[in-house]
Every structure is written in C-alpha cells, then in structure tokens.
Structure 1
Amino acid sequence: MNAEELVSRIRAELHPGEHDNLVVKLIETGEAPRSVIATFAAEENHIVSSDWRTFLVLAAKAEEPNARAFFTLLAGGEELVLPMLEPLARAAGMPAEKFHGYEPFPGCQAYPAYQAWMALNGDPADVVLAILANFTAWGGYCARMAKGLREHYGFDDEACAFVDFFATPAPQLEERAVAAVQAALDGGWQPKHAWRYGRLLQAYELQFWSTLA
C-alpha cells in the first residue's frame, strides 16, 4: 500500500457520520444562538495558541524533511489565523474584554491537549496520518459554517476569515503530508498507532462540539 492509498483509507475509516455534529448543522441553518458562535471563537483562541506551539515541537522532532515541512506549514497557518478570531467573536456579540478574559471549558480543550501529547509521545509519521484524517472533517465543518454565517447571521468576510481559511483546500500541505508518509513507508515504517491517534483525535474533536452544544 502506498501513501496515497493509506491516507484515503484512514480518512474513510475515521470520517465522522453526517449527523455527529449538531452545532455545525445549527449554524449552517441559522438555528444556533450567536452566543455559541462567540464561544466557538473564544475556545479556538486557546486552541490555536496551543496548536501553534505543538506543531513547532513536531517540526523540531521530525527528521524527515517533508514531515518537518508539513508541521512547519501547519504552525504557520495557526499564526495566520490567530488574529482572525477576535473579529468572529465580535460579530457574534462578544466584546474584546470578555474575549481576552475568556476561561475555556475542559471538554473543548481536550483536543489541543491530545495534540500536545502526540507531539511528545507520537511517531511523526503516525501523527501526520492522524492529523490528515481529522483535517478532512474539520475543513468540511468550516465550509458549512462559513456558508451559514453569511446567509443567516449576516457576517462579513472579516468575521468569516477564520472558517474561510480552513475551508480552503491546501494542496501544498497535502503534498508534503503524502510525501512524508511515503518516505516513512520507503524507510520500512508501518503505521502502528496512526489509527489510534486519529480515532482519539476525532473523538476529542466531537467532544469539542458537544461541549459547545
């Protein structure tokens, strides 16, 4: 099995069900209260700050150049989107003082905590696969939210910039990830924990949304 086949397989097996995420469905249809959107932005402010550091640790840990580039690109993305969260919270009615003083829910922060755990304990190739599997679902959620925020809440491009960013395909990121997995396979690596990492990461992702609900 080559890298592309392996990536397709883990994505198909770990992709959540259509009805697993109630919050995104409610935002998409305009039924979620604005307070939920504001809380989403405030929670993501903590998550993005954590993931930025996590991806830098993974980049430093990775010895294979494509894996290192993959994690470096992810870290750069977190840096770009961090300033986009306050406009989203503001559009949803959360003032700056409350946004910056927001105390997060444990259920929402299990996801970045587990990503940090993977940075300390995971094989980079396994982590690449797990993150790729989760990103498929996350990108889809963001695309649906972007549509709902514009159509039902009247949010402008500045307010939607965060979800727009993740809803946009990133072919360079995908290419680096596949190349990293292929290099690992060529070196004799076999995915030992990728499915476990991906399964837990996706579960913590859904825990984030259920906590918001």
Structure 2
Amino acid sequence: MSFADSIVSADIQQLRAYILGHALWRRIEEGTLEPERLRLFALQDWWLVREAYRLDALAIAALPDLEIQDLLIRKLTPKVGGYKLLLRFGEALGLSLADFDAVEPLAGCMALTNFFYWMLAYGAPAEKLASVSASEDIFVQICARIAPALIRHYNLTAKQVEFFSAHDAIGEQVTPVDETLLARYNSPEDQQRITRAIRLSHEYEIMFYDTILTAKVGS
C-alpha cells in the first residue's frame, strides 16, 4: 500500500490502476516491446531523471519550515546517484553517453517535466509535495514488476537493471517521509489540493508513457 492509497478518491485509484497496467509495462512484461522503443524510454526518462535534483532542490527551497526541509533532504538522500544506474541500463541497450547528452524531449516527456516545474513555482505547499511524490510513488510500484521482466526477456543482468530494482529500497525509505510530510496538510482545502495534484501528476504520467508507445522509432 502506497502513501497515496489512503487519501485519494475512487476515480484516482482507477487512474493509478490504469498506469500500473499501461501497455508500455505490459509489453515489457510480455517481452514484446521493441528494443528500439525500450531505448527511447531510457533516453526520455533520462531527461526527467536529469531534472530530478533541480526539482528536489526547488521543493526544499520553496518551503520555509525547517523541519519540512529536513524531511525533504532525508527524502532526497536515498536517490543520490540514481542517474548513474539509468546510464548503465542505457549502455546495456546499446546507447552511448553521447546519445544521452544529445537527448531531446518528446512532447509527453516535456509536458510531465513542465507540470512539475509549474507546481513547484505556483502550487500550494501541499501541491508541491504531492505532485512529485505521486509520480515517484507509482514508479516504485512499476519498477518492482518490470525489473524481472527485463532480465527474463531482454537478456539483461541484475546489475544492468539496477535502476529499476533499486527503486524498491528507495521506496522503503521515501514512502514514510511522504506520509509524514503530507499528514501535516490535513485541512479540507489541503486534501482537495493534494487530490488534484495527484490526479494531474498521474494524467501527465500517462501522457509520457503514451508518447513512448506512439513516437516513431527506427528509420
């Protein structure tokens, strides 16, 4: 059970179920996703991962409460260095560092990125926390399912898919912090903002995954 399951409405629960069952993940689990499209995912996710430190730093800077800042720093610490694991995954797929350096975001990837920045710039404190946390939370659940499939169907090693398998340990450390943070915002207005932020985060997440499946790959 994730931090969000106890606070969101039934329609958002359905949205979360849709993300977990998205065709992108189903095709990886079945071994039917083309390697070219898997490489596209690695590159596009790199665009987001590369922004993660900036997003976390902005969240910390935007909240004046020192205790909340301490909690956010605790939340950031387990994620430090995760980008190296994504580079390793990409290299196992045949991507070079030059490929990662040259990546350009597709529309769905940019839309999700811009949503996070908008929330951190203009959202209420509860929205700032919930928007990024919701995306991280559901990706932890996705990773637990697809890491074994990547090994089984794509001839990758456990070390090469550590970007995904490591999220389980990260989630164990991050989820309690999210629960503590969001428990502070328990007014009806805050709960409404949190629910809206989670809904939008998930809808933009779907746009990102849809983009990976529909973008042109290959020649």
Equivalent residue letter for 1:92:
L
Change (3 A) 1:98 1:161: same
Which runs of structure 1 show a deviation greater than 4 angstroms over 4 or more consecutive aligned residues? 4-7
Change (3 A) 1:176 1:17: closer
**Secondary structure in structure 1 of the residue aligned to 2:58:** helix
Corresponding residue for residue 216 of structure 2: none
Number of residue pairs matched by the alignment: 209
Corresponding residue for residue 146 of structure 2: 145
Question: How far apart in 2 are the matches of 1:143 and 1:11?
Answer: 24
Match status 1:154 vs 2:152: no
Equivalent residue letter for 1:151:
R
Question: How far apart in 2 are the matches of 1:74 and 1:182?
Answer: 15
Question: How far apart in 2 are the matches of 1:181 and 1:23?
Answer: 30
Question: How far apart in 2 are the matches of 1:135 and 1:11?
Answer: 19
In the TM superposition, residue 11 of structure 1 has moved relative to its aligned partner by 7.5
- Counterparts in 2 of 1:97-112, with a 5 A limit? 97-112=98-113
Question: How far apart in 1 are the matches of 2:9 and 2:53?
Answer: 23
Equivalent residue letter for 1:196:
R
In the TM superposition, residue 101 of structure 1 has moved relative to its aligned partner by 1.5
Q: Bigger shift: 93-102 or 62-71? A: 62-71
Question: How far apart in 1 are the matches of 2:107 and 2:29?
Answer: 25
In the TM superposition, residue 126 of structure 1 has moved relative to its aligned partner by 2.8
Match status 1:199 vs 2:199: yes
Q: Percent identity?
A: 20
Change (3 A) 1:155 1:11: farther
Q: Deviations over 1:163-196 (max 9, x none)?
A: 112233533322222222233338x973242222
Corresponding residue for residue 209 of structure 1: 209
In the TM superposition, residue 208 of structure 1 has moved relative to its aligned partner by 0.9
**Secondary structure in structure 1 of the residue aligned to 2:186:** helix
Match status 1:56 vs 2:54: no
In the TM superposition, residue 51 of structure 1 has moved relative to its aligned partner by 2.2
Question: How far apart in 2 are the matches of 1:107 and 1:5?
Answer: 25
Question: How far apart in 1 are the matches of 2:189 and 2:144?
Answer: 34
Corresponding residue for residue 48 of structure 2: 47
Q: Deviations over 1:131-172 (max 9, x none)?
A: 443334211211222011011112112321111122335333
Native 8 Å contact 2:50 2:83 kept in 1: yes
Gaps of 5+ in 2: 214-219
Question: How far apart in 2 are the matches of 1:21 and 1:86?
Answer: 24
Question: How far apart in 2 are the matches of 1:53 and 1:152?
Answer: 34
TM-score normalised over the length of structure 1: 0.84
In the TM superposition, residue 200 of structure 1 has moved relative to its aligned partner by 1.1
Equivalent residue letter for 1:14:
I
Give the superposed CA RMSD. 2.7
Equivalent residue letter for 1:165:
A
Question: How far apart in 1 are the matches of 2:78 and 2:9?
Answer: 21
Q: Bigger shift: 68-77 or 54-63? A: 68-77
Native 8 Å contact 2:119 2:127 kept in 1: no
Question: How far apart in 1 are the matches of 2:12 and 2:34?
Answer: 29
Q: Deviations over 1:17-76 (max 9, x none)?
A: 347511111111111111112111111211012121011111111233453234324444
Equivalent residue letter for 1:121:
Y
Q: Bigger shift: 167-176 or 29-38? A: 167-176
In the TM superposition, residue 84 of structure 1 has moved relative to its aligned partner by 1.3
In the TM superposition, residue 13 of structure 1 has moved relative to its aligned partner by 4.6
